[in-house]
Amino acid sequence: RGTDPAAAFLHRLIEKHDVADTEFLVDAGGYLTALARHELSGQLDYQIRNHIEKWFQTVTMRIDRFHSFWRGSQTSAKQWLRRFRHHYNHERPNQALDGQTPAEQIQN
């Protein structure tokens, strides 16, 4: 959060990947300024951010429940998280996506 951490993140990203033709969707914060510092293009997009925030809210809720009741190993927890990710992205219809799954929305 903030311009300097955003700029540091973008700097590391630029070192590892070719992002010259990439357009970044950001939710303001320090990222617009950081993008300008690196001469990268950016666009504010609160709609996508809202979907991501809802996803994190769901994951946080599930992790809280998971933490309260889970008695398995770290390996089985990782397996559960992989299954949850697949279920959420490929099997569970989403109201905000007109009943499509996130994978269906991306493919269309």
pTM over 0.75: no
Q: How many domains does the chain have?
A: 2
Residue 82 in this model has a pLDDT that exceeds 70: yes
Could you tell me if 46 and 53 are in contact, meaning their C-beta atoms sit under 8 angstroms apart?
no
Residue 5 in this model has a pLDDT that exceeds 80: yes
Give the pLDDT mean for 44-71: 76
Report the phi/psi class of residue 10: left, alpha or beta, with left for phi > 0 and alpha for psi in -120 to 50.
alpha
Judgement on whether residues 57 and 11 belong to the same structural domain of the protein: no
Position 86 scores a pLDDT of 94
Judgement on whether residues 23 and 68 belong to the same structural domain of the protein: no
Judgement on whether residues 64 and 75 belong to the same structural domain of the protein: yes
Judgement on whether residues 56 and 30 belong to the same structural domain of the protein: no
3-state secondary structure of 41: strand
Higher pLDDT, 27 or 98: 98
Higher pLDDT, 100 or 1: 100
Judgement on whether residues 36 and 52 belong to the same structural domain of the protein: no
C-alpha–C-alpha distance, residues 20 and 13, integer Å: 11
Judgement on whether residues 40 and 62 belong to the same structural domain of the protein: no
pLDDT > 90 fraction of the chain, expressed in percent and rounded: 15
Judgement on whether residues 30 and 52 belong to the same structural domain of the protein: no
Judgement on whether residues 54 and 87 belong to the same structural domain of the protein: yes
Count the neighbouring beta carbons within 10 Å of the beta carbon of residue 76: 11
Judgement on whether residues 91 and 71 belong to the same structural domain of the protein: yes
Query: Which structural domain, as residue segments, surrounds residue 41?
Result: 1-45
